[in-house]
């Protein structure tokens, strides 16, 4: 048996380009919500002492961000399994116990988020959730790294197999995975800052909250830009040959542009400045989501040409999926609107 199984002989359900677009869309949605808890929880832990009013607002939003982020994260994961099953499954089997642990750790983190939101051991619960969710992010980064490195599978198998079965304790948390996690963390500080600016600009009028948010927004962006710049400067040379120059530039310079707008918000806060900052941050997320998926496709593309895989043409199933997706997005928009109202009304 070859180290990399051949593609499914039945082929793709629809052309790979459509699946790739849906994967990018799902990853973008996941990033938008996931980053709220990735940076929002550590920020809340610090702000409990210095800006408790802002920390209250952040923690009130965390259960909703968790629910949206987890569900949105299923979308890119499913399309990853559809596009590259012969890469994804061996990679996660080699580090199976870390992959299995994601669910119990996520349940503990989810419980801690709700405890904090309902006023129970807020600092401790926020800290526990932040640590667990950061570790889960590292586990995902490791899984995605090994998915695109099939050349290393056989070495891990030989080192960890007993009786033909691996022990599942390999963890591909290498330099590349850590740098990608650093990029995500840097963007996450910007996402939290844009969220706070949106609350201050479009939420209920609260002069004390707006006054506390005003200096925080540029400060969080400066921290985020520092992390993003450091990780990006080390990561970019390793993927420069797999990423078009225009996309590389958009992904690299979108964060400094958003930081500049955050500085303008600090000087003259208002709805216009907050709206521009939110749009700029969405541009940061979208450009980096596309760049990440393009890099992953190029890495795996060295081993399989999806253009040569036959297409079954299950357009009826796709139509049903798209109708269901639109209905789901409508329900999600209603839930998000309700959550936004509740967060605005938080004391």
- Following DSSP, what letter does each residue of 201-239 receive, concatenated? HHSS--HHHHHHHHHHHHHHHHHHHHHHHHHHHHHHHHH
Classify 18 as helix, strand or coil.
helix
pLDDT in tens, 141-187: 999 999 999 988 888 888 888 877 888 888 888 899 999 999 999 99
Q: Any idea what DSSP says for residue 5?
A: P
Residue 2: both structure tokens together:
């070859």
* Domain with residues 16-295, CATH architecture: Up-down Bundle (1.20)
pLDDT above 60: residue 343: no
Q: Can you tell me which residue has the tokens 């082929």?
A: 11
Q: What does the alpha-carbon distance between residue 88 and residue 145 come to, in Å, rounded to a whole number?
A: 10
Instruction: Provide mean pLDDT across the span 271-295.
Output: 95
Whole-number pLDDT of residue 290: 95
Q: What does the alpha-carbon distance between residue 179 and residue 100 come to, in Å, rounded to a whole number?
A: 23
Residue 215: both structure tokens together:
């200096």
Whole-number pLDDT of residue 119: 84
Name the average pLDDT for the chain: 89
**Which of 106, 137, 134, 103 lies closest to 41 in space, CA to CA?**
134
Q: What does the alpha-carbon distance between residue 192 and residue 150 come to, in Å, rounded to a whole number?
A: 36
Higher pLDDT, 339 or 344: 339
Residue 205 dihedral angles phi and psi, to the nearest 5°: -65, 120
Whole-number pLDDT of residue 345: 61
**Which of 271, 182, 294, 284 lies closest to 232 in space, CA to CA?**
182
Instruction: Provide mean pLDDT across the span 51-77.
Output: 89
pLDDT above 70: residue 2: no
Whole-number pLDDT of residue 341: 73
pLDDT band at 306, cuts 50/70/90? confident
pLDDT in tens, 186-235: 999 999 999 999 988 887 677 888 889 999 999 999 999 999 999 999 99
**Which of 196, 188, 267, 176 lies closest to 223 in space, CA to CA?**
188
Number of CB atoms found within 10 A of residue 278's CB: 19
Q: What does the alpha-carbon distance between residue 343 and residue 347 come to, in Å, rounded to a whole number?
A: 9
Whole-number pLDDT of residue 191: 96
**Domain limits, the chain:** 16-295
């Amino acid at each position: 048996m070859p180290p990399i199984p051949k593609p499914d002989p039945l082929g793709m359900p629809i052309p790979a380009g459509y699946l790739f677009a849906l994967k990018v869309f799902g990853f973008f949605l996941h990033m938008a919500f996931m980053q709220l808890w990735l940076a929002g929880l550590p920020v809340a832990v610090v702000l409990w002492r210095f800006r408790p009013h802002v920390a209250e607002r952040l923690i009130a939003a965390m259960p909703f961000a968790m629910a949206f982020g987890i569900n949105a994260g299923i979308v890119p994961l499913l399309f990853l399994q559809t596009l590259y099953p012969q890469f994804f499954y061996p990679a996660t089997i080699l580090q199976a116990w870390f992959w299995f642990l994601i669910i119990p750790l996520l349940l503990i983190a989810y419980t801690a988020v709700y405890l904090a939101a309902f006023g129970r051991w807020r600092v401790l619960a926020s800290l526990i959730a932040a640590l667990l969710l950061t570790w889960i992010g590292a586990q995902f980064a490791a899984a995605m790294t090994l998915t695109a490195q099939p050349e290393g599978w056989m070495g891990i198998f030989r080192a960890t197999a007993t009786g033909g079965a691996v022990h599942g304790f390999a963890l591909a948390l290498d330099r590349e995975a850590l740098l990608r996690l650093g990029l995500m963390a840097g963007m996450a500080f910007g996402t939290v800052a844009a969220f706070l600016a949106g609350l201050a600009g479009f939420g209920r009028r609260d002069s004390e909250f707006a006054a506390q948010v005003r200096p925080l927004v540029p400060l969080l962006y400066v921290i985020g830009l520092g992390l993003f710049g450091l990780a990006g400067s080390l990561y970019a040379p390793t993927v420069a040959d797999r990423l078009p120059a225009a996309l590389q530039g958009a992904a690299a310079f979108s964060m400094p542009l958003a930081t500049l707008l955050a500085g303008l918000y600090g000087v003259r806060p208002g709805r216009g400045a907050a709206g521009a900052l939110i749009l700029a941050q969405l541009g940061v997320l979208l450009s980096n989501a596309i760049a990440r998926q393009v890099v992953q496709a190029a890495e795996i593309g060295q081993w399989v040409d999806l253009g040569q895989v036959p297409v079954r043409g299950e357009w009826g199933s796709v139509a049903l999926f798209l109708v269901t997706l639109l209905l789901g997005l409508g329900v999600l928009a209603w839930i998000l609107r309700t959550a936004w109202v509740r967060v605005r009304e938080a004391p």
